[in-house]
Amino acid sequence: MSNDILSFAMFLSLLVAVFFGYPLGITLGGLAAIFGMLAYGPGALFIFANKTYGLMTNYVLVAIPLFILMAQFLDKSGIADKLYDTMYIVFGPIRGGLALATIVVSTVLAATTGIIGASVVAMGLLAAPAMIRKGYQKELTAGVITAGGTLGILIPPSIMLVVYGGLIDMSVGKLFMAAFLPGLLLSTLYLLYTFIYCNFINKKAGPAIPKEERIHSTKEKIIMTFESMLPPLILIFAVLGSIVAGIATPTEAAGLGSAGALLIAAFNKKVTMKMLIDAGYGTVKITSMVMLIFVGANFFTSIFMGIGGGEAFTSLLFSISSNKWIILAMMMFILFILGMFVDWLGILLLCVPIFTPIAVNKLGFHPLFFAMLVSINLQMSFLTPPFGYALFYLRGVAPPGMTLVHIYKGIIPFVVLQMIGLILCILFPQIITWLPSVAIK
């Protein structure tokens, strides 16, 4: 059997297995073992051992459980509750104010936790009941919560960027800096759309809170904002600032972030033995899932590339067009379609080793530029049906009356905004490359 047929059969088998819902990590490893034996015989097992040992000795990947632990501590620290209560008071008098507050709080949570599930569930429990109770449109409520929650996969410190850096041996610090402005760009687009929609398109979608509830003075609002924002801003500065200044590696900064998150929880009197056990268990559970997929995908990619799958895919792309922008558009389209059916981690581990050499070596794109386009695209995967994780996270905690139909309708404009953000980053690459060029020498 020729290598071209083997690589095609290998990729097709993966798509079929994913479609039928088999666990991704086991599927990747199992298919790699089967096709590796067909191509290399028992030598495939040595490839597996070598690649797995390489992962075990990758110092950068130690940051993954530490950032997850930081997110677990913050999730239980009460920081989101205090932030939302403050933003409710500050933005409430504006039409769409609660939706704007939700996006602002989600952006801050994204810059502290980096875990989509934690952000969406937290805002689903805090914001959704309040917004529905105040007469907000259910579709708008669902849209801002899910879209705001997905910012955590892009705005640093992001687990996805840590995995990305460890996967292709790229500086995680540079990835963090490159992702900062695109993440803020998406957050700004969400805020602008929500304000325009509630104030000019559908004034009933997000009513302002009644005048009798506006009892706080401007001075009180400033003090409340300062008090609620200070702890997460200090944590963000400690984690990202230490990386940018060259004081700490991303792994060391992750440890610093975990300690800082625990201190915030202690300051809010949330530290108990049960909280520590739950945070530890959640960290082990999520880290095990990530590393299982990482091991399986690394083995799969090694076999797939070894039997010529990468060259076959490159030839296929260049047979369609030699224009680098058309090839880039095709790669983005493939990522978008895969995002509807496959977990972001699986897409990252499968596609990045294949796409990056094409984009960087063959087409001449800047590695950070391409990495951010992939990251923005993968952010969309959390919102796109049928398997958008953020949709199901919200559905699990949604208040009575909010159905999956409301959630599906609500995400449509925000997926369009994410596409607009992706296009803006392609048209103006300085959005991605400027901050790393001035922050990290």
Secondary structure string (H, E, C) spanning the chain: CCHHHHHHHHHHHHHHHHHCCCCHHHHHHHHHHHHHHHHHCCHHHHHHHHHHHHHHCCHHHHHHHHHHHHHHHHHCCCHHHHHHHHHHHHHCCCCCHHHHHHHHHHHHHHCCCCCHHHHHHHHHHHHHHHHHHCCCCHHHHHHHHHHHHHHHHCCCCCHHHHHHHHHHCCCHHHHHHHHHHHHHHHHHHHHHHHHHHHHHHCCCCCCCCCHHHCCCCHHHHHHHHHHHHHHHHHHHHHHHHHHHCCCCCHHHHHHHHHHHHHHHHHHCCCCCHHHHHHHHHHHHHHHHHHHHHHHHHHHHHHHHHHCCHHHHHHHHHHHHCCCHHHHHHHHHHHHHHHHCCCCHHHHHHHHHHHHHHHHHHHCCCCHHHHHHHHHHHHHHCCCCCCCCHHHHHHHHHCCCCCCHHHHHHHHHHHHHHHHHHHHHHHHCCHHHHHHHHHHCC
- Is residue 357's pLDDT more than 80? yes
Residues 297 and 261 reside in one and the same domain: no
Residues 303 and 364 reside in one and the same domain: no
Residues 187 and 294 reside in one and the same domain: no
- Is residue 255's pLDDT more than 60? yes
Residues 357 and 398 reside in one and the same domain: yes
Residue, of 298 and 259, whose pLDDT is higher: 259
Residues 163 and 21 reside in one and the same domain: no
379-391: average pLDDT? 83
Residues 173 and 225 reside in one and the same domain: yes
For residues 369 and 432, the answer to whether their CB atoms sit within 8 Å is yes
Domain boundaries, position 2: 1-57+290-307
21-35: average pLDDT? 84
Q: Is residue 281 part of a domain?
A: no
Mean pLDDT of the chain: 85
Nearest Cα residue to 418 out of 158, 200, 151, 122: 151
The tens digit of pLDDT for each residue in 99-157 reads 998 999 888 888 876 667 767 877 888 788 888 888 999 999 999 999 998 898 888 88
324-328: average pLDDT? 94
- Is residue 70's pLDDT more than 90? no
- Is residue 440's pLDDT more than 70? no
Q: Is residue 96 part of a domain?
A: yes
Domain stops at, among 307, 333, 360: 307
Residue, of 51 and 203, whose pLDDT is higher: 203
Q: Predicted confidence band at 441 (pLDDT cuts at 50, 70, 90)?
A: low
Q: Is residue 430 part of a domain?
A: yes
Q: What pLDDT is stored for residue 219 in this prediction?
A: 79
- Cis geometry, peptide bond prior to residue 42 (ω within 30 degrees of 0): no
Q: What is the C-alpha to C-alpha distance for residues 145 and 221, in angstroms, rounded to an integer?
A: 23
Residues 301 and 212 reside in one and the same domain: no
Nearest Cα residue to 178 out of 438, 408, 441, 434: 434
Q: Is residue 278 part of a domain?
A: no
Q: What is the C-alpha to C-alpha distance for residues 83 and 150, in angstroms, rounded to an integer?
A: 18
Q: Percent of the chain beyond pLDDT 70? A: 96
Instruction: Give the chain's domain count.
Output: 2
Residues 39 and 80 reside in one and the same domain: no
Residues 207 and 328 reside in one and the same domain: yes
Residues 40 and 161 reside in one and the same domain: no
Full-model pTM: 0.84
Tokens read off for 46: 């040595």
Q: Is residue 283 part of a domain?
A: no
Q: Is residue 419 part of a domain?
A: yes
Q: Predicted confidence band at 424 (pLDDT cuts at 50, 70, 90)?
A: very high
Domain stops at, among 279, 307, 335: 307
Residues 161 and 210 reside in one and the same domain: yes
**Contacts (Cβ under 8 Å, ≥6 apart) of 438:** none
Q: Is residue 279 part of a domain?
A: no
Residues 226 and 131 reside in one and the same domain: yes
Q: How far is CA 155 from CA 43, 165, 177, 181, in A?
A: 41, 15, 9, 8
Q: Is residue 121 part of a domain?
A: yes
